[in-house]
Structure 1
């Protein structure tokens, strides 16, 4: 029996996937979480064989921690095909125990991927790989950090505090971001960067 943890945002999607997985004779859903702070507890208490995670909820850092532990856990990462940047980051970091599928795939592909990862196999959506490697992001890593925090609605002073920067430096980053995206406002820069898959 493949003990599976679901770390997904949205009760409806998580519940539907849990239903599909539990109809399989060889898969058992042992935990469902929708907050990053709950994943560690679920891992310790339920000791799953595989996790299925929505990267937009947990982020690559949390997933990398899971696969870098002394007993690495295979994680199937569901990635929004319109925002494949995280896949590009993982490919460059050479994460060994991560599998990737688009979040819009048929449930049967998730079932198959869980089985493959549990057996030590690999899972990689070819369309995601092409998208991740073909989208050149003109923003620096720091500019991406600034824009991601700005996208949450934080003012310049709060962005500066969160990144241990001066407010002037944050304004400079936002100005360069506007130039690189061709945006006239911060909101427009955020929209363009999301559409391009840069954040």
Structure 2
């Protein structure tokens, strides 16, 4: 689901023409997305020019709306926010990126740092901090919520190999072993072996528990 809004340039009366910060919102929870859009639209110098409800729509809407800044949720269906941020960097190099998350998993924070997003905030921050962050990012500053900065120093790297993560990511998406084998060009027996190794490495009760552990740690975001 996506919505495109008209280009933004507002005449501010006695202050003359003021260039408005053009924002693209990517958030899969509609109520949250609409609330964020309404919050930002209250500001005279901000306009939401596009909204997307999944990662697959992100690049197409960004190309159409040419935002100054994209606000991306980390966990979205289709294409996660950090992978979307990487691709958006390649497609629109001038677009700044502010990532929102409910996760403080060290591995997620480190990956955001590696991508060099312009801002990284937790969703439970006060609303006014988001508006302030948008302006700071547009001014060329880097913004990160303090608890996320602290989290970057903690935790261990993922114990999963790239292929194990691929298999578990498909399990998380609801795929069965036979489907995973076909998608990854593996034998069903090899897929079962990978899943057995994953469950053992994560000290999980079963594959469902392994998905929970890996997701909470931020190890299932696409690489």
Aligned residues: 197
Superposition RMSD in Å: 2.0
Consecutive unaligned residues in structure 2, runs of 5 or more: 1-19
* CA deviation after TM superposition for structure 1 residue 70, in Å: 5.5
**What are the within-5 Å matches in structure 2 for residues 24-173 of structure 1?**
24-57=43-76, 58-59=79-80, 60-69=82-91, 71-83=93-105, 85-91=107-113, 94-136=114-156, 137-173=158-194
* CA deviation after TM superposition for structure 1 residue 87, in Å: 2.5
CA distance in 2, matches of 1:3, 1:149: 35
TM-score when scaled to structure 1?
A: 0.88
CA distance in 2, matches of 1:180, 1:131: 22
CA distance in 2, matches of 1:114, 1:27: 9
Matched, 1:177 2:198: yes
Q: Is the 8 A contact 2:68 2:94 kept in 1?
A: no
- 2:32 counterpart residue number: 13
- Work out which of the two has the higher radius of gyration on C-alpha atoms and give 1 or 2: 2
- CA gap 1:35/1:194 in 2 versus in 1, 3 angstroms: closer
* CA deviation after TM superposition for structure 1 residue 4, in Å: 0.5
